[in-house]
Structure formats: C-alpha cells, structure tokens
C-alpha cells in the first residue's frame, strides 16, 4: 500500500481503536491468544515475543458504500473496504482496530466491486473528497446515515469475547476506551504533530499530521500504541483514585495486587511503532507527561505494598 | 455477576428493591450497572430520581438497542445525574452506579436470535466494566424473562457468567402461590430453562426468593392492633409459612424478607442512611434488610442446591 501524500497514494487515513481488558481471570498464553485471533483460516495469526508478547489477527475486510462523515454537510460518497484487525497484548489486553485510507479523488461514477477490491483498506470517493470536512466530521462522530467504523471494531471485540475459552471473570473491572483518529500528511517541511483530546464515556480523538509516505498501517499501529497506553494510564489512575490509605487492608490489597499482577508490566511505549513516527509519541508524552504520571503511579503502588508489608510485620512482632 | 430480578406479578417491590440492592452494592465499592428490562413500564429512572431519564431514553434505550435501532443504548450515570439530594455527593470509596433505561414505548416483543445476540454482546461488554449487572425483568413469564433464560443457558453466550435469580413476591396467599408457580410451575423458570438447555438442579440452585413488604408483627407499626387482630394475623403468617414450605419456597430458599416500609408505600425510592438516621423517615430494619440482602448475593452458603 502506498503512503500518505505520495502521488498515487491516499491523502487521508482514519480509524478507530477499541481497547479493553480480555475478559478472563488470568492472562492467556500464546496458544490461546492464537486461537482467539484466528479470525480467518487462510492467513495465520502473527506473533511476536519481544519486547513483549503480542499477537495480531489477520486483517478482515468489510465492504462499504456510503456517505462519508462531514462537518459542513457536504455529501460525498465513497466505496471500498475497511480493514479491521484485533491484537492481544501480553495475553491480557484486547485491542480491535478498524481503519481505511482515501485518495483525494476517484472516478465520477461508481465502479464494479472488482475495482475496489484490488485496493484493500481503501475507500475511493465518487468524484472529489472534501478531505478537511471528512476528517473533522469523522472525529466529531458520524451522524445518521454516515459511515461509522466504530461498530466494525466493536464487532471484532464482541466476536472474540464470545469465545468459549474465556472464563468471563476478569480480576478487576475496567472501562473500555475508543480512540478515533485521522492522519493527514504534514505540510511541507513541517514535522509530525499530534493533537490528543479526551472526551466523556471513554472516547478519545487523535488528529495526526504524519511524514510523507507513512503507510496507513503504520499510522494505525501508532494509534493502537497510543490507545493501549492511554487505556493503561486511565485504568490505573481510576483504580487508585479515591482509594484511601485507611481502607481495610484486604480491600486495598486486592486492588493493588490486581494492578501489579495484571497491568503494571504492560507499559512499554513505542515497542511496535514505526521508527519515523516515534516523534508523535514523544511530543505527546512531553506535553501530557504520560510516562512521568505512569512512573509515579507505579511507584505509589509498590510503596503502598511495601508499607503494608512492613506494618503487618511490625504488628506480628508486637503481638508476640 | 448477573442478578436477574423477576416477579410473579406487578407491585411486588421488585424494581424498587433491586434498585436499592444496586445502590447498596455500589456504596460498598462495587461497580454496578442496572438494566431496566421492565418492557412497557420502565420505572428504574424514577426510583433513582432521574426525572429526564425516561424522556432521554426514547429511541435510544434498551428496547431500541435490542431491536437494532441504536448501536449503543443510553447510559445514565446515577451519581452525577440524580436529583435525589442525598445521592448527589458520591460517597468516598463507592463504586460506579450506571442505569441503562428502557424506552417507555418499547413494549414486549418476540425473542429472536438477533435480540439474543445483541443482548449477549451488550452483557459481555458491560461485565468487563461492572462487577454487578442487575437486570429488572417484566413481571411473569415475560419475553424479557425468556430472553435472559435462553441467553444464560450453558451453551448460549452468557452461560459461563455467574448468574443468580431473585424472585420477588409479597406475603399473601396469591403471591406465594404465584411465585412458586413462576419458579417451579409447569410454565415456570426451571421447566422452561430445562427445555432451553439449563441443568434443572443448577438452575433451581441459582433461584432464591425475596419476600417484600412483609408485616413484622413485633414491630411498633402493629403495636396498636387489638388482641384478636394480633392472633388472627399470627395465624395467617403461620399458614403462609406452611403454604410457602409446601410449595418449595420455604425459609431455606428465601434470601431475605424486606419488612413493610411506610416510605416505600408512599414513594418508590432509594432508602439512604440519611433517611434512617438524620430524617428518621425510614425504618432501620428496612435499611438493614436491604444491606443484608445485598451482601447475601455473593455469600455462597445462601446459594446452591440442597
């Protein structure tokens, strides 16, 4: 697939990533992850073991022929396929991602499906594509009768969650997040830029300007990484919020231990992001202090556990 | 855990009691979601004091979701939206409390494969987020009951989820007989469930009864009755106890008895500690019974087949 901004390539890529805890009491092993992600028989699940265990399903295509989202109300139609894939990180976190890319213009008439199927993951406009309006409309959320790729990602999450090998008793309750993103090529000479916004109900939006020739798959990879780390930070911060040191020990310990057992080791930004896109995360991290906050939270959890151990030991000694 | 609140008839205090249970569990720090499946007459929004809840749910509530008219059902965060004065300040250490209201105009509909898939996907999604899902089902062997009964059968999507049924009934002859019929009758939960693939002993081990609005003859409420009335009421109580035991819903299968509560006779609402201790309008016994019942949902010795 050609990259963003190249002569024959797309001018816009959009996607949505859903992130949730895999609904099982313990992390699944590599074999189980493979079994869960075997969404197609003709293509294997890709596994990687370093720097963390990661499994990703083959891509699934969904054919669409519909109105594109728009903020201005300009109606533009596009036809083609949306790519979707699911990934399991360290056997513990499930991510489903759906994305597409689109060129600036296409044939003035709708072609036969064969024309669109040779470009997987690409939505080809009928006529010109109002790029800005579509990108803004996509981030604002589709209106009725406009393309909504959220359900495509969600249906993968739902399909995997129904699998019989999952015991459906997660060790802690966590809220899912959806991250909606758009990527356009950065203007000449400008560097990568990223605008990250958090809304209610676990929705995040990311507006990216990426180097020329970045492939849509690489942009999706960056957003999956952002979504994973945002989800981790949100989940751990929420669990610690209002957790009073005066709580009875068993309850506090249960929360702290579940975080240590299941989430703390997952923080590993940029482990699977294309090298040219590292600046996007670095910029975001610099501005929002994600890593600093994560380190502080992780340290706090460990300190609490140590304090408790010291306290229970001294209680034991005094009771003797 | 999925807590399914069913009742033989209307007016058994099913909605108001299960809303109170949801409230109690969230006070204890559990993340709780309440799903209003009382198709046709959703009342949960009123119990949680969310005046615009019913109105907002039009076209995007649970019925619309199950029928595929909306991609995601409306969620209302009770702590932040309620108009109940005592609830607005969410207590420290409490968990989330979210209502998924039903649409008023939804009515009953046939249970189709499609509805069931949508229900399964929704519950699987919610159970990642919440440790308790309370489902308030329409009275009788309704479509809502059938939908949940099929979805929770061992080979359907929710079979692996821990689920517990509460059958609410009032403490009268008619209600006791109807509750027994709803659970064990020829058209009842266990029979219907078995036909849908449930193991009869497992299913019946997950059904418990809640007696609602039970007059406690020793309470001050009844201190003014004449000796003759007292004796008569005692006999009735005794006879009901025998009737219940004979129908298989005797004390061993009762999870709790909620005493007759004047506040609930006047208004379907959440009973808060403020109502009991500061304002003195609700009785401590009711508050305690709700608390105990909420705790017993997760105490395994109260459940299972005997």
Per-residue pLDDT of B178-193, as tens digits, reads 999 999 999 999 999 9
Q: Is the pLDDT of residue A66 over 90?
A: yes
Confidence grade of residue B2 (pLDDT, cut at 50, 70, 90): very high
For residue B274, tell me if it sits in a domain.
yes
Average pLDDT over residues B44-52: 88
Confidence grade of residue B52 (pLDDT, cut at 50, 70, 90): confident
Q: Which helix (H) or strand (E) holds B18?
A: helix B14-27
Give the residue among A113, A68, A83, A92 at the shortest CA–CA distance from A19: A92
B29 C-beta neighbours (distance < 10 Å), count: 18
Q: What is the CATH number of the domain that holds B167?
A: 3.40.50.300
Confidence grade of residue A245 (pLDDT, cut at 50, 70, 90): low
Q: Is the pLDDT of residue A69 over 70?
A: yes
For residue B99, tell me if it sits in a domain.
yes
Nearest to B92 among A164, A175, A242 (CB): A242
Q: Tell me: the pLDDT tens digits for B53-62?
A: 777 888 888 8
For residue B245, tell me if it sits in a domain.
no
For residue B163, tell me if it sits in a domain.
yes
pLDDT on residue B39: 76
Binary contact (A168, B71; C-beta < 8 A): no
* B127 contacts on A by Cβ (under 8 Å): 23, 168, 170
Q: Is the pLDDT of residue A229 over 90?
A: yes
Confidence grade of residue A237 (pLDDT, cut at 50, 70, 90): very high
B68: left (phi over 0), alpha (psi -120 to 50) or beta: left
> Based on the number of CB atoms within 10 Å of its own CB, is B238 exposed (0-12), middle (13-18) or buried (19 or more)?
exposed
B251 C-beta neighbours (distance < 10 Å), count: 11
Q: Tell me: the pLDDT tens digits for A92-125?
A: 999 999 999 999 999 999 999 999 999 999 999 9
For residue B228, tell me if it sits in a domain.
no
Strand partners, B163: B2
Q: Is the dihedral of CA B86, B88, B92, B93 positive or negative?
A: positive
Which residue range forms the structural domain that includes residue B11?
A: 2-216+251-301
Q: Tell me: the pLDDT tens digits for B130-173?
A: 999 999 998 888 888 999 999 999 888 888 888 999 999 999 99
Average pLDDT over residues B231-235: 90
What are the E-state strand segments in B129-251? 132-137, 163-170, 207-214
Q: Which two tokens stand for residue B167?
A: 């059958």
For residue B285, tell me if it sits in a domain.
yes
Residue A7 neighbours by CB under 8 Å, 6+ apart: none
Nearest to B161 among A21, A148, A168 (CB): A168
Q: Tell me: the pLDDT tens digits for A168-185?
A: 889 999 999 999 999 999
Nearest to A251 among B29, B31, B92 (CB): B29
Give the residue among A21, A30, A36, A31 at the shortest CA–CA distance from A52: A30
Q: How many CB pairs under 8 A join A and B?
A: 49
For residue B72, tell me if it sits in a domain.
yes
Residue pointed to by tokens 């939908």: B147
Which A residues in the span 192-221 are in contact with B, Cβ-Cβ below 8 Å? 201
- CA–CA dist A42, B25 (Å, integer): 48
User: How many domains would you assign to chain B?
Assistant: 1
- Least confident range from A76-85, A240-249, A300-309: namely A240-249
Confidence grade of residue B107 (pLDDT, cut at 50, 70, 90): low
* B93 contacts on A by Cβ (under 8 Å): 242-244, 247
């Amino acid at each position: 697939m050609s990259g963003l901004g190249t002569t024959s390539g797309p001018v816009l890529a959009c996607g949505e990533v859903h992130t949730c805890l895999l609904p099982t009491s313990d992390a699944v092993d590599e074999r189980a992850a493979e079994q869960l992600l075997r969404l197609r028989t003709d293509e294997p699940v890709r596994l990687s073991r370093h720097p963390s265990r990661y499994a990703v399903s083959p891509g699934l295509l969904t054919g669409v022929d519909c109105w594109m989202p728009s903020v201005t109300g300009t109606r533009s139609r596009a036809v083609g396929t949306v790519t979707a894939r699911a990934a399991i990180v360290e056997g513990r976190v499930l991510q489903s991602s759906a994305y597409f890319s689109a060129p600036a213009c296409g044939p003035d008439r709708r072609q036969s499906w064969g024309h669109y199927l040779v470009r997987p993951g690409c939505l080809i406009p009928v006529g010109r594509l109002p790029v800005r309006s579509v990108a803004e409309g996509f981030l604002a959320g589709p209106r009725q009768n406009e393309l909504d790729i959220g359900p495509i990602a969600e249906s993968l999450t739902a399909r995997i969650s129904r699998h019989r090998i999952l015991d459906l008793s997660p060790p802690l309750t966590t809220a899912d997040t959806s991250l909606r993103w758009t990527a356009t090529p950065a203007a000449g000479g400008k560097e990568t830029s990223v605008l990250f916004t958090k809304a209610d109900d676990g929705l995040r939006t990311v507006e990216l300007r990426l180097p020329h020739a970045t492939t849509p798959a690489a942009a999706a990879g960056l957003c999956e990484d952002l979504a994973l780390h945002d989800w981790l930070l949100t989940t751990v911060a929420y669990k610690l919020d209002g957790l009073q040191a005066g709580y009875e020990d068993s309850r506090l310990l249960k929360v702290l231990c579940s975080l240590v057992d299941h989430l703390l080791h997952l923080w590993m930004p940029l482990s699977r992001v294309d090298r040219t896109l590292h600046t996007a995360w670095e910029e975001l991290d610099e501005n929002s202090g994600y890593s600093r906050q994560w380190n502080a939270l992780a340290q706090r959890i460990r300190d609490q556990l140590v304090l408790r151990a010291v306290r229970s030991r001294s209680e034991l000694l005094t009771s003797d | 855990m999925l807590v399914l609140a069913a009742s033989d008839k209307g007016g058994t205090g099913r909605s108001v009691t299960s809303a109170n249970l949801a409230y109690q569990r969230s006070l204890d720090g559990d993340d709780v979601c309440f799903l209003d499946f009382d198709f046709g007459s959703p009342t949960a929004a009123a119990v949680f004091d969310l005046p615009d809840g019913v109105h907002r749910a039009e076209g995007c509530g649970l019925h619309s979701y199950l029928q595929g008219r909306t991609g995601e059902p409306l969620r209302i965060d009770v702590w932040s939206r309620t108009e109940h004065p005592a609830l607005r300040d969410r207590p420290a250490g409490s968990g989330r409390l979210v209502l998924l209201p039903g649409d008023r105009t939804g009515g009953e509909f046939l249970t189709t494969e499609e509805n069931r898939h949508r229900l399964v996907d929704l519950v699987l999604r919610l159970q990642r987020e919440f440790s308790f899902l309370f489902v308030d089902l329409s009275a009788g062997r309704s479509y809502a009951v059938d939908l949940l009964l099929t979805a929770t059968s061992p080979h359907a999507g929710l079979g692996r989820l821990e689920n517990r049924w509460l059958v609410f009934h009032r403490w009268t002859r008619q209600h006791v007989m109807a509750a027994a019929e709803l659970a064990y009758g020829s058209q009842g939960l266990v029979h219907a469930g078995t036909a849908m693939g449930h193991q009869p002993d497992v299913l019946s081990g997950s059904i418990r009864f809640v007696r609602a609005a039970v007059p406690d003859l020793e309470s001050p409420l009844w201190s003014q009755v004449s000796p003759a009335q007292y004796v008569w009421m005692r006999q009735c109580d005794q006879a009901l106890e025998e009737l219940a035991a004979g129908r298989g819903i005797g004390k061993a299968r009762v999870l709790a008895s909620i005493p007759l509560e004047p506040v609930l006779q006047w208004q379907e609402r959440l009973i808060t500690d403020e109502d009991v201790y500061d304002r003195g309008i609700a009785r401590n016994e009711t508050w305690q019974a709700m608390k105990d019942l909420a705790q017993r949902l997760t105490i395994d010795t109260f459940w299972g087949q005997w």
